[in-house]
Each structure stands twice: as structure tokens, then as C-alpha cells.
């Protein structure tokens, strides 16, 4: 199986800060990685696909990078609406499926 890990599990930040979240896969997945944002009581929202491609309609302050086993989501100039939980998900057709990372919660400092 592929396992996904994320760090940190929680990050405290202020509006205007740059926030960086890391995701690691236990084996190489190329660039088959997505980042989702989830707010309480809502379904996840796709932010980044193929590790670094910005989903249509998502603000450009969100960016993704990485390949293989190590990936990063960066939020530049954090906005009030960005306080949420962020999940990475491996996106290959490996038979063990679309595994999610455990999530990173961005909270107000």
C-alpha cells in the first residue's frame, strides 16, 4: 500500500503569512498528487492537481510543488477564508486507491 503523511498536523498563522504544508508518500507517485481544502461541514474542494496545476477558480496565492515522494502546498499571503484543513491525496490508479493524507489544520495564531 501507499501511505501518505503530512506535516505539520496543525499550523498557527496570521493573515498575510506564508504557510507551507508538506506531504510525503511512502513510494514514488510521480506528480499524481492533489491538494484539497475542507471547511467545517463542507465537502473538500480541489485546489491543486498534478502536484502543481492550479484548479480553475482557485486563487493564485495557492501553489503546489514536488514529485516522487515529497510534495509541498504553499499559501502566500494567507487570507481569512483560508483557515481550513488541507489534505493531500495520491491520484494514481494503483489498486490500493486514492489514499488521503491525515490533514493539516490551519488555525488563527
Q: Which residues bind other proteins (CB under 8 A)?
A: 1, 30-34, 36, 38, 43-46, 49-50, 53, 55, 87, 89, 91-93, 95-103
**Closer residue to other proteins in complex, CB, 17/68:** 68
User: Minimum distance from CB of 95 to other proteins (Å)?
Assistant: 5
CA atoms of 84 and 18, how far apart (whole Å):
15
**Residue 34 or 75 with smaller CB distance to other proteins:** 34
**Closest distance between other proteins and the C-beta of residue 29, in Å?**
8
In the sheet that holds 4-7, the strands lie side by side as: 4-7, 19-25, 70-75, 62-67
- Scanning the structure block, which residue is given the C-alpha cell 481569512? 80
54 backbone dihedrals φ, ψ, rounded to 5°: -80, 125
The H-assigned helical ranges of the chain are none
Q: From the CB of 33, what's the least distance to other proteins, in Å?
A: 7
**Closer residue to other proteins, CB minimum distance, 17 or 63:** 63
Amino acid at each position: 500500500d501507499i501511505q501518505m503523511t503530512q506535516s505539520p498536523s496543525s499550523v498557527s498563522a496570521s493573515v498575510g503569512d506564508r504557510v507551507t504544508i508538506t506531504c510525503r508518500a511512502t513510494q514514488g507517485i510521480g506528480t499524481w498528487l492533489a491538494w484539497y481544502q475542507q471547511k467545517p461541514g463542507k465537502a473538500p474542494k480541489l485546489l491543486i492537481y498534478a502536484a502543481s496545476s492550479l484548479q480553475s477558480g482557485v486563487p493564485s496565492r495557492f501553489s503546489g510543488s514536488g514529485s516522487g515522494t515529497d510534495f509541498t502546498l504553499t499559501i502566500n499571503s494567507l487570507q481569512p477564508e483560508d483557515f481550513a484543513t488541507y489534505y493531500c491525496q495520491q491520484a494514481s490508479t494503483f489498486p490500493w486507491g486514492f489514499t488521503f493524507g491525515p490533514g493539516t489544520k490551519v488555525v488563527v495564531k
